[in-house]
Amino acid sequence: MILIFCETKDGKLKKSAYELSCLAYRLGKELKEEVSAWVISGAEGEDFFYLKNFGVSEIYLYEDKNLLNFSLTAYAKLLSSLIDEKKPSLVLFSHSSQGRDLAPYLSARYSSPCLTDIVSLEIKEGKILAKKPIFAGKVNQDLEITGKSPLFFSIRPKAITITECAKTEPRIVPMPVSELDFRIKVREILAEVRSLIDVTEAEVIVSGGRGMKGPENFVLLEELAQVLKGAVGASRAAVDAGWRDHSAQVGQTGKTVAPTLYIACGISGAIQHLVGMINSKVIVAINKDPEANIFKVCDYGIVGDLFTIVPLLTEELKKVL
Ligand code: FAD
């Protein structure tokens, strides 16, 4: 059995749940194993049942409102009892903050191998092969993973394309929730952060850097992002200056994103920023310095003052969208 850890947000499955099920379905076909999903009750009935389009055979459902906020110790305890009972060969997480915590924690508990932040996983001639970007994305490492199961993996968000898989009639298995271990517990998620679209989930990101000159000017990016139904990201310079929350930071010490469209405004294109957004499908850069490094990686470059260009873009896009 292949077990996938499905994350939820505001009662809905995150996109990463579908990415993991697609990947697990492909692996399951090779290994001749079924795919089972671990879901917290927050995902309302019909939403998690949608996993039936992605080849999931069994859904282990945990219903307890205390579980809605992530707790490493509580989740790990419940996951371990499931792993002990079902003995999955592979356990897949998204390389999110939850997956980053859980995958290594559980692998240490089982003394099993763990590979994190991988961008592909496949079975070839019976070998389990993974690809992992290293040195800030400059090199891809090809790895073969061996060792005793369960093998733990965290998969970089958006690295797997979501395609519909075989339709299934998943068995829903309500799981007992008792003796929760809350040594570590998220007590509160601030409303401001929660209301924003998470940059790792967004199809469009409008990011701002030091060139924004101050926090008040980010309203220009918010307006553009709103028209494009996207999220607002930031460079570390903007975050360090206190202009944006760290949850919006893109780059080596922030989040790795791969949206369909990434618009970089007043961002120079330092390598630490590029590694976080280089896999975006289309990159647009707006910068007044024609020599800025960001122009080396963008698909469309606009040389000019962002304070003139961004409002014009917003106006024109409002007309056509
Ligand atoms: P700058 O480099 O100062 O660039 C500002 C740009 O704005 C310039 O190109 C300028 O021409 C342009 N500009 C100014 N005014 C205007 C205007 N009116 N119109 C148009 N353009 C304008 N950085 C990250 O972003 N993410 C990370 O995760 C990250 N992690 C790091 C980790 C380490 C270990 C280290 C050492 C650094 C890290 N950095 C990270 C920092 C990184 O090296 C850069 O310092 C940072 O990305 C620069 O941010 P910036 O492009 O916004 O600012």
DSSP for 39-59 reads EETTS-HHHHHGGGGGT--EE
Tokens 């056509």 correspond to what residue?
Answer: 320
Of the given ranges (7-16, 71-80, 168-177), which has the lowest mean pLDDT? 7-16
Asked if pLDDT for residue 251 goes beyond 80, the answer is yes
Asked if pLDDT for residue 196 goes beyond 70, the answer is no
Distance 271 CA to ligand 1 centre (A): 9
- Region 222-240 average pLDDT: 96
Distance 77 CA to ligand 1 centre (A): 41
Beta-strand pair 139-144/127-134:
antiparallel
pLDDT of residue 65: 84
Provide residues with CB under 6 Å of ligand 1: 209-211, 235-238, 249-254, 266-268, 270, 272-273, 276, 286-289, 292, 305-307
Which atom of ligand 1 approaches the CA of 234 most closely?
A: 25
Tokens 């996938």 correspond to what residue?
Answer: 4
pLDDT of residue 173: 94
> In 191-215, which positions are buried (b, 16+ CB within 10 angstroms) versus exposed (e)?
eeeeeeebbbbbbbbbbbbbbbeee
Residue owning the nearest CA to atom 15 of ligand 1? 211
The whole model's pTM is what?
Answer: 0.74
User: Ligand 1 pocket: which of 200, 252, 278 to mutate (most atoms <8 Å of CB)?
Assistant: 252
Q: What is the pLDDT of residues 124-150, one digit of tens each?
A: 999 999 999 988 777 899 999 999 999
Asked if pLDDT for residue 192 goes beyond 70, the answer is no
Distance 274 CA to ligand 1 centre (A): 10
Distance 236 CA to ligand 1 centre (A): 7
> What mean pLDDT value characterizes the chain?
92
Distance 156 CA to ligand 1 centre (A): 24
User: Ligand 1 pocket: which of 135, 221, 224, 267 to mutate (most atoms <8 Å of CB)?
Assistant: 267
Of the given ranges (12-16, 25-29, 212-216, 259-263), which has the lowest mean pLDDT? 12-16
Contact 268, 209 (CB under 8 A): yes
- Region 158-171 average pLDDT: 89
Asked if pLDDT for residue 219 goes beyond 70, the answer is yes
Paired tokens of 212: 């924004």
pLDDT of residue 195: 46
